[in-house]
Structures are given as C-alpha cells and as structure tokens.
Amino acid sequence: MSVEIDTRPIWLLIFLKAVRPLFFLLMGLAFLYAVQMPTPEGLTIGGQRAIAIFFVCLILWVTNVVPLAITSLFAIVLVPLLGVLTQKDTYSLFGNEAVFFILGAFILAGAIMHSGLSNRIALNIMDRFGGSPRKLLLSIFLLAAVLSFFMSEHAVAAMLFPIVLEISKSLGLKPGKSNYGKLMFFALAWGCVIGGVGTFLGGARVPLAIGILKETTGASIEFLDYTIAVFPLVIIMMLVGYMLLTRFFPIDITGVESARQVLAKRLKGLGKMTYSEYCVGAVLGLTILAWIFFGRRFGLATIALSSVVMLFMLRLVRWKDIEEYVNWGIILMYGGAIILGTALDKSGAASWLVNGAIGKWATSPWTVFAIFSLLSIFLTEAMSNAAVIAILLPVSIGMAENLSMDPSIVTYSIAVPAGLAFMFPMSTPANAIAVSSNYITVKDMVKGGFIMCITAWLVFNLVAAYWWPLIGMGYSK
C-alpha cells in the first residue's frame, strides 16, 4: 500500500481531526434543539420531528461525511424512534416496489456484463461504424447513450472506459493535449449521462422518484410514458452535446486505422457469440417488452424479478457472479429515502416546509416546474442524484398538491434533471471515470459542463412546455 506523509503543521492536523467529532456534536445539538423547540404554527409535532430528521439527513447527504446508505439507515432508525411513523409502517416501506425494481435492474445489468454481451455489442458497433475520426467519435457517443437506456450509466462508463482508453493509446493521443482524446472521453461521459435519463434503466433515481411518488400520492409513471416524455430531451441534448464538443475541441487527427486494429483484435479475442450471451440477450429483450406492454398490469419490479428468476432457472448466471454487480448501498439508500419522503408527507411537514420556503415565489405551476428543475440540475452537480431526489421530491410533491399540479409532473421536474450532471467529476461516476483518463481536465469539464447544464435546463423546460401537451401531459391535474 502506498504511503503518504502529511507534513502540514501538527496543530492543523489535530484541528482537522477534531472537525468531524465537532461536526457530529454540533449537528446532534442542533437536532435536539429542533426536536425540543416549541412547535411552529401550522405544523404537527410529528411534522416538526420529520423536518428535524430531514435536515440531519440533508446535511449528511450533502456533506457525505458518512456513506449515503448509512444516512438512510439513520433515517430509518430515527423515523420510528421519534414516533413520526410506527415501526411497522417504517419497515414495511422498505418493501417498496422501487427498491425491488432497482435490485432486479442491478442483477439484469450484472448478467449482461458477466455474459460479455454488452462488451461484444460495444466492440461491434465501434468496429462497424467507426471508419473515420468523426464516425468513431459518434459511435462512442451514441453507443454510450444507447447502452445507458438499458443499463446503469455507471456500468456503461466503466465497461467502455478500457476500450476507449486503449483506442486513445493506439492512436498515440497525448493526455491533456489531444483534442481527439478529450472528445472521446467527453463522448463517453456525456453519452452515458444523456442516455441515462432516457429510460428507467439508466440509473436508479427514476425508480426511486416513482417509489416516493407512489407512496405519497398513489400515482405512478409507466416505463413507456416516461421514455416518450423524455426522448426529445435526449435527442436534442445529444445533438447539442456533439456540436458543443466538436466546436470546443476541433478534431485534430486524420485517421483511425490503429484504433480499428485494436477493436478488431479485441473482437477476435471474444470468439463467437456464446449460448449464454444469446440467452441473456433474449431475456433482456423480453423484459423490456414486458415493461412496455405489461408494466402497468404486473408492475415493473415484478417483471424485473421474474426475469432475474428466469436467468437463474436457465443457469445463465450464478449468485457469485452477480453479487459484485449488486450495489447494496444504493438499495439501502433508496429504501431510506422512500421512508423519509413518506414521513415528511404523512406528517404534513412537506407542504408546511414548501409553503414556508418557496411558497411566495412559486405562484404558478410553470414557476414551480422551473424552480425545482433548476434546483435539481445544480444540486446534482454537487450531490448524489438519489440524494437530490430524496431531498427535493417530498417537498415538491407537497407544493404540487397546494397548486393543484399533477404530482407526477413535479416528479419529472426533479427526477430527470437529477440525472443531468455534466460539470464535475464528483457529480456522477461517468464524469469521474472520464477525468481519470487524464485526457480531460476538471477545467475542461466545468467549462463545457456549465453550458450543457444551462442548455439541458432550458431544453427540458421547453420540452415540458411544448412536447408534453402533445402527448397528453400537462402541469395541472
């Protein structure tokens, strides 16, 4: 293990070590004060406690001083402990459909990656369509986006990274200097980010948002409805992203022959398509069709879990193969977020909080939509997208009810922008992976990412204003 010795003054190191316990102490005192203080007018005692828990979790999620999942567990402990919800209600919320949908999606993605199918698809597409620098760039961009429709964008970024890195090296691109190197890794990161919002499968945030929506209002959003609503945004952002990238970093190479040799070599190494790949592909295809046509009737989680069972019945995967792909931390995090959201809603805290905080500004459904989507898109740059949803969605649903807005529209206004993190490596793993290549600097990412963020927010609001009415969606109930 490599060792680093911190040679800063010892008093500074002691101070920095003391910051953490001091932070928890102050937070604990503030929490006790918030719980003990006289209940504000219009708020129930349960609501007061729910708000206190919410702010503790908000601080912990934003600062990340403990893992996100542990903050969620803390919420699960505090909600029944302070009597906001009963123990039975609290723990039963963990059995939410969204949690099991996420679990199923993780296992399905794991099976695809483990079988090698995703890798084969990626290599084939790049090999077939990457005949020139421009085509190769486009194929990486589109491939990252399209794969992120079906798998977690994080998994796609991790899967494509070694391929793109090898291509960069084979082309002799110098890290930090080559425009084409930057372009390829931006294409990888932004392709994943944009594609990731295209369906429920790009990340677990949309299922989480729907879980909260369902628990608090009983309403839901279907797989196909979501994709139809969001697709224009994906198309426009892909076009904007490509134009922006090639304008910022003009292509500085003329041929990609050596890259094609690398792809050909890798493809050759894969051999012929295996039985397992065929079967996993077929199961995935059937699953997607079932989500589209039978999602409303059977439920998305039921379909996902049925497919998982089928994978194991057909012996396409073993539990040992899958375990490493299942992010239990995220599952815990989402369970806790749903419990917290429900606690805020059922105690009346959410609507009280929203009215007090932004009630004066949010005079119309349009402004509510614009404000929450803006908050979401900028918060997600600094926070986990799931945390953004856990923080904003319960209060926004409360506000929607006050303004007679459709709560599912408000869910879109937070869930979609929460996935559009372009600016920082810490915003999303796809960005972090791209920056880790050393071809892209943080400065490059901030510069391009800021423009993408603003554009994405504008496009999203325009899509909501002009596209959604055409497909029967509107701000009001």
Nearer to another protein, 3 or 470 (CB): 3
The size of the interface with another protein (CB under 8 A), counted in residues, is 11
Q: End-to-end distance of the chain based on CA atoms, in angstroms?
A: 58
13 contacts another protein (rule: CB under 8 A): yes
**CB 23 to another protein: min, Å:** 18
**CB 436 to another protein: min, Å:** 18
The torsion angle over the Cα atoms of residues 376, 380, 381 and 382, rounded to 10 degrees, is 120
14 contacts another protein (rule: CB under 8 A): yes
CB-based contact 371:84 (threshold 8 Å): no
Nearer to another protein, 8 or 268 (CB): 8
174 contacts another protein (rule: CB under 8 A): no
Stretch that binds another protein, among 11-19, 34-42, 234-242, 355-363 (CB under 8 A): 11-19
Nearer to another protein, 5 or 470 (CB): 5
Residue 405, SS3?
A: strand
Using CB under 8 A, pick the residue from 5, 269, 271, 320 that binds another protein. Answer: 5
What is the spatial distance between Cα 151 and Cα 156, in angstroms, rounded to a whole number? 7
Nearer to another protein, 16 or 37 (CB): 16
- Within 8 A by CB and 6+ apart from 192, the residues are 144, 145, 147, 148, 153, 154, 156, 157, 428, 430
Is 19 exposed, middle or buried (CB count within 10 Å of its CB: 0-12, 13-18, 19+)? exposed
Nearer to another protein, 16 or 282 (CB): 16
21 contacts another protein (rule: CB under 8 A): no
What is the spatial distance between Cα 394 and Cα 412, in angstroms, rounded to a whole number? 13
Is 50 exposed, middle or buried (CB count within 10 Å of its CB: 0-12, 13-18, 19+)? buried
**CB 339 to another protein: min, Å:** 35
Nearer to another protein, 6 or 41 (CB): 6
20 contacts another protein (rule: CB under 8 A): no
Nearer to another protein, 4 or 41 (CB): 4
What is the spatial distance between Cα 451 and Cα 244, in angstroms, rounded to a whole number? 9
Length of the chain measured in residues: 477
Stretch that binds another protein, among 5-13, 92-100, 209-217, 314-322 (CB under 8 A): 5-13
Residue written as token pair 């486009």? 138
472: left (phi over 0), alpha (psi -120 to 50) or beta: left
Stretch that binds another protein, among 8-16, 20-28, 103-111, 269-277 (CB under 8 A): 8-16
Nearest in space to 201 (alpha carbons), one of 219, 218, 226: 226
Give the angle 303-341-38 at the CA atoms, nearest 5°: 165
Using CB under 8 A, pick the residue from 4, 41, 315, 320 that binds another protein. Answer: 4
470 contacts another protein (rule: CB under 8 A): no
**CB 426 to another protein: min, Å:** 19
Nearer to another protein, 11 or 361 (CB): 11
**CB 7 to another protein: min, Å:** 6
Phi then psi dihedrals of residue 405, to 5 deg: -90, 155
What is the spatial distance between Cα 345 and Cα 50, in angstroms, rounded to a whole number? 9
Residue 157, SS3?
A: helix
36 contacts another protein (rule: CB under 8 A): no
Phi then psi dihedrals of residue 39, to 5 deg: -70, 125
**CB 328 to another protein: min, Å:** 25
What is the spatial distance between Cα 372 and Cα 457, in angstroms, rounded to a whole number? 10
- Within 8 A by CB and 6+ apart from 272, the residues are none
Nearer to another protein, 7 or 36 (CB): 7
What is the spatial distance between Cα 189 and Cα 195, in angstroms, rounded to a whole number? 10
17 contacts another protein (rule: CB under 8 A): yes
Nearer to another protein, 13 or 471 (CB): 13
Nearer to another protein, 22 or 81 (CB): 22
What is the spatial distance between Cα 246 and Cα 242, in angstroms, rounded to a whole number? 6
Stretch that binds another protein, among 7-15, 115-123, 229-237, 409-417 (CB under 8 A): 7-15
**CB 10 to another protein: min, Å:** 7
Stretch that binds another protein, among 3-11, 183-191, 263-271, 382-390 (CB under 8 A): 3-11
**CB 8 to another protein: min, Å:** 9
Distance of CA 384 to the CA centre of its chain: 8
**CB 15 to another protein: min, Å:** 10
Nearer to another protein, 10 or 470 (CB): 10
Residues that bind another protein (CB under 8 A): 1-7, 10, 13-14, 17
